[in-house]
Amino acid sequence: MSKISVGLIGYGYWGPNLARNFRASDLYELSYIADLSEKRRSAAQKENHGSRVISDYREILEDSKIELVAVATPTSTHYAIAREILSRGKHVFAEKPLTNSIAQAEELVNLSEKAGTILAVDHPFLFSSAVRKLKSIIDSGDIGDIFVIDSERLNLGLIQKDTNVFWDLAVHDVSIIDYLLGGVLPHRLMADAERYTQQDQHEFGAVSLRYPGKQIANIRVSWLSPIKARRMMIVGSKKMAYFDDIHPDEKIKIIDKGVEYDSDKDKALFPVYRWGDALLPRLDNTESLRREVDELYATIRTGTPFPSSGRDALRILKVLSAIDESLISRMEVAIV
Ligand SMILES: NC(=O)c1ccc[n+]([C@@H]2O[C@H](COP(=O)([O-])OP(=O)(O)OC[C@H]3O[C@@H](n4cnc5c(N)ncnc54)[C@H](O)[C@@H]3O)[C@@H](O)[C@H]2O)c1
């Protein structure tokens, strides 16, 4: 199958990761990189021989050879840029979060569906070896019914000006949980957050989500933490799982712990605690973004479903918007 010619818009902090992975893949030709900043263009020029580096991204849209455009500009600009790309009949690979609002994201999803073009959104954790392994273990039934998921994403910084800590960090937890639970929206949530060092954005936050299958997911995120933590605990009816994304080689543990009851006796008085073995599944070390761009190629060329489509991203935005609503109302919010 033929290579896909791709243009990249935005070469700030994250754009170079996209460029590196498109260049490393035999499936793509990174033809253009656009950035408004001269400094970033000069970095792009040095690091990407063979790609045309430009300031005005519209040049990419004029080129009929370009099939796919990746958008790694600040989130507030995604909507206008993606709309322009889709209206030219080209596929879009947009950074997370897709847009700042549900209405804008819905418009992009409808536009792509009408045009028959792909709208893919970069939620990189859905392509990580660890999350893929967790998903296959959950889907195999090994963990049983999921009861509770507890997730933490803590760091010192990077404090953002245009989004709060939920839109910056919890977007990852929400998308991982959405993926593990099979793409269902929580039906309600309650969030709390605070600003400490600056007035603009909440730097610490916690949210509790309730899913229709009785699952509870708790997420804590912070830009004000003395340690970096990215960990998730999953409590199932048969086993439990612990995912530590910082750990170099033991990222996932499947632990045979649980509680059972002697059916002949009073339930409250006779719980039996099971302390079994822990399993460390072997993970391959493919970079998430590399797997993501390879799967995106298959989606564009052969129509295989992409796990992080515009419609999937819309669910994540509904959750993030409901979190903001809960912060304002200081009440539990229902999601419809
Ligand atoms: N997938 C991930 O894990 C991940 C990680 C970090 C950031 N992001 C997302 O990537 C996006 C960019 O974040 P960042 O941290 O790289 O931001 P950044 O500010 O470092 O970079 C954005 C770049 O876009 C350029 N730009 C802005 N408007 C432009 C335009 N109209 N045309 C051409 N260039 C333009 C800027 O000059 C800048 O160089 C955000 O949506 C962010 O949420 C995703």
**DSSP letter string, 298-321:** HHHHH-PPPTTBHHHHHHHHHHHH
Spacing, Cα 13 to ligand 1 middle (Å): 6
Q: What is the pLDDT of residue 16?
A: 98
User: What is the tens place of the pLDDT at every residue in 54-82?
Assistant: 999 999 999 999 999 999 999 999 999 99
- Of all residues in the chain, the percent with pLDDT exceeding 90 is 90
Q: What is the pLDDT of residue 313?
A: 97
Is 125 touching ligand 1 by the criterion CB < 6 Å? no
Question: Domains in the chain, please, with CATH?
Answer: 4-122 (3.40.50.720), 126-286+318-334 (3.30.360.10)
Six-digit token string for 132: 């893929």
Six-digit token string for 145: 């019914």
Six-digit token string for 171: 């977007």
The answer to whether 66 and 5 are in contact (CB under 8 A) is yes
The answer to whether 241 and 255 are in contact (CB under 8 A) is yes
Q: How far apart are alpha carbons 271 and 120 in whole angstroms?
A: 47
259 three-class SS: strand
Q: How far apart are alpha carbons 74 and 98 in whole angstroms?
A: 10
User: What is the tens place of the pLDDT at every residue in 255-303?
Assistant: 999 988 877 666 666 788 889 999 999 999 999 999 999 999 999 999 9
Residue range 42-63: average pLDDT? 97
- The alpha carbon dihedral of 171, 177, 178, 184 has a sign of negative
Total number of residues shown for the chain: 336
Is 180 touching ligand 1 by the criterion CB < 6 Å? no
Q: What is the pLDDT of residue 143?
A: 97
The answer to whether 309 and 121 are in contact (CB under 8 A) is yes
Spacing, Cα 315 to ligand 1 middle (Å): 22
Q: What is the pLDDT of residue 19?
A: 98
Is 186 touching ligand 1 by the criterion CB < 6 Å? no
Residues 6+ apart with CB under 8 A from 329: none
Q: Which of 53, 78, 95 to mutate to test ligand 1, by most ligand atoms within 8 A of the CB atom? A: 95
Q: What is the pLDDT of residue 206?
A: 98
Spacing, Cα 122 to ligand 1 middle (Å): 12
Is 77 touching ligand 1 by the criterion CB < 6 Å? yes
Ligand 1 atom showing the smallest separation from residue 34 Cα: 33
Instruction: Name the nearest CA neighbour of 258 among 244, 272, 242, 279.
Output: 272
Q: What is the pLDDT of residue 252?
A: 97
Number of alpha carbons in the 13 Å side-chain half-sphere of residue 291? 18
Is 230 touching ligand 1 by the criterion CB < 6 Å? no
Q: What is the pLDDT of residue 57?
A: 98
Residue range 165-177: average pLDDT? 97
Burial class (CB in 10 A: 0-12, 13-18, 19+), 198: exposed
Burial class (CB in 10 A: 0-12, 13-18, 19+), 287: middle
Residue range 298-314: average pLDDT? 97
Arithmetic mean of pLDDT over the chain:
95
Q: What is the pLDDT of residue 268?
A: 63
Spacing, Cα 322 to ligand 1 middle (Å): 24
Give, for 334, the enclosing helix (H) or strand (E): strand 333-334
108 three-class SS: helix
